[in-house]
Amino acid sequence: MTTDLTQYPRRRYGMDHDRYDWSMLQDREPVTWPGDKPLALWINISLQHFSLSGEEPQVVVPGALTMPYPDLRHYTLRDYGNRIGIYRVLKEIERTKAEVSFAINGALCERYPALIQTLATLPFEWLGHSWDMLSIQAGDLASDKEADWIRRTIAALERAGQRPIKGWLSPGRIQTDNTPELLALAGLEYHCDWVNDELPYRFRTHHEDLICLPSCLELDDVFVLTQNLHSEDSFEEQIYDAANTLISEARAFKSGRLLCLNFHPWLIGQPHRILTLRRILNNLLRDRANDIWNASPSQIIAASKC
């Protein structure tokens, strides 16, 4: 008896879905970054609000509250990032003149306007990061609810930031089947959730195409330090190994490569970890300045001509 376990209706050339075309990185048209630098560097800082409410999200993302209500230990440790950690991170950014982006939960505009006003004084790009860390876009979440989170987040960020919101990073890099359509309908240009590439590429929706600028989960500070439980020194070494690999490849293939880093102030902004961020920024932005083009996500997408 043959069951659907041995039927393969989408066994065909290319992908088993229609979101994007199949292609291998090295087979594409070469990319040239400004100044002919081999490596583009996107540094994103995620600013997050973990609600104390005790509500269970559909998917529990890393860093989420885990204890019975009121989970003060995790709530306050995450809140630390918005009170202390971010200001340490901002000092390092200022000191090294780094170009970064901020992915921001919309709720922070209402909850901590002083923080958002500080961020608004800086010339960096902002990305929507859903309403808060309970607003997880996953599974059978109702489309109108998801659309409301997206709309409210964009409106709050644009009002507070006085800059257009063009990109989206979903908490946990998770999406529903509707997310790409809803992001396109909201007028966004790119998302960063599909971690399947090292250059931006075109992503289809039923409306306008989006660009996917793939963020790097595997070098995200939360992933390396809290899920893999690697040391801070190994985290740093992994970033340098990645930069070296990508720079050599860019030279070998005469095409720019991209390194994406993502930091969370509640983690990297701890006093025993900020040195790691300082060293990473010094290494990439000073010691390797000749090889690295540090840019905003929109600049990287524009230069990639995808």
Partner 1 sequence: MTKDQMSELELYDYWPYHSRPKIRWPGGAKLAFWVAPNIEFYELNPPPNPFRKAWPHPFPAVPGYSIRDYGNRVGHQRQMALLDKYGIRGSISLSAALCDHHPEIIEMCLERNWEFFSHGIYNTRYTYGLSEADERAMIEDSIQTIERATGCKPAGYLAPALSHSEQTIDLFAEAGGLYTCDLFHDDQPTPVCTRSGSKFVSIPYSLELNDTIAYVVQKMEPRRYAQTIMRAFDQLLAEGDESGTVMCIPTHNYQVSCPHRIKAFEEALAYITGHSDVWVTTGREIAEYYLDHYYDDAQIFIKGESQ
Nearest CA to 188 out of 102, 119, 262, 128 is that of 128
Q: Answer yes or no: are the C-beta atoms of 199 and 304 closer than 8 Å.
A: yes
Nearest CA to 173 out of 195, 152, 199 is that of 195
- Is residue 229 at the binding interface for partner 1, with CB under 8 A as the rule? yes
- Is residue 16 at the binding interface for partner 1, with CB under 8 A as the rule? yes
Q: Answer yes or no: are the C-beta atoms of 173 and 215 closer than 8 Å.
A: yes
- Is residue 193 at the binding interface for partner 1, with CB under 8 A as the rule? yes
Q: x/- contact string, 27-56, with partner 1 (CB under 8 A)?
A: x-----------------------------
Instruction: Work out how close the CB of 125 gets to partner 1 at its nearest, in angstroms, rounded to a whole number.
Output: 23
- Is residue 23 at the binding interface for partner 1, with CB under 8 A as the rule? yes
- Is residue 142 at the binding interface for partner 1, with CB under 8 A as the rule? no
Integer-rounded Cα Rg, in Å, for the chain is: 20
- Is residue 238 at the binding interface for partner 1, with CB under 8 A as the rule? yes
Instruction: Work out how close the CB of 58 gets to partner 1 at its nearest, in angstroms, rounded to a whole number.
Output: 7
Q: At what angle do helices 274-281 and 232-253 cross, to 10 degrees?
A: 20
Which residues, 154 to 183, sit near partner 1 by CB under 8 A?
Answer: 172-177
If one counts every other C-beta atom within 10 angstroms of the C-beta of residue 8, the result is 9
Among 239, 284, 301, 303, binds partner 1 (CB under 8 A): 239
- Is residue 114 at the binding interface for partner 1, with CB under 8 A as the rule? no
Instruction: Work out how close the CB of 98 gets to partner 1 at its nearest, in angstroms, rounded to a whole number.
Output: 20
Instruction: Work out how close the CB of 250 gets to partner 1 at its nearest, in angstroms, rounded to a whole number.
Output: 11
Among 109, 115, 259, 281, binds partner 1 (CB under 8 A): 259
Residues touching partner 1, count (CB under 8 A)? 60
Among 70, 113, 139, 187, binds partner 1 (CB under 8 A): 139
**Cβ neighbours of residue 289 closer than 8 Å, sequence gap 6 or more:** none
- Is residue 236 at the binding interface for partner 1, with CB under 8 A as the rule? no
Which residues, 69 to 108, sit near partner 1 by CB under 8 A?
Answer: none
Q: x/- contact string, 264-283, with partner 1 (CB under 8 A)?
A: --------------------
- Is residue 234 at the binding interface for partner 1, with CB under 8 A as the rule? yes
- Rounded Cα distance between 84 and 80, Å, is 6
Span from 79-87, 134-142, 276-284, 298-306 in contact with partner 1 (CB under 8 A): 134-142
Binding site for partner 1 (CB under 8 A): 1-8, 10-17, 22-27, 58-59, 138-140, 172-177, 193-198, 214, 217-219, 227-231, 234, 237-239, 241-246, 249, 259
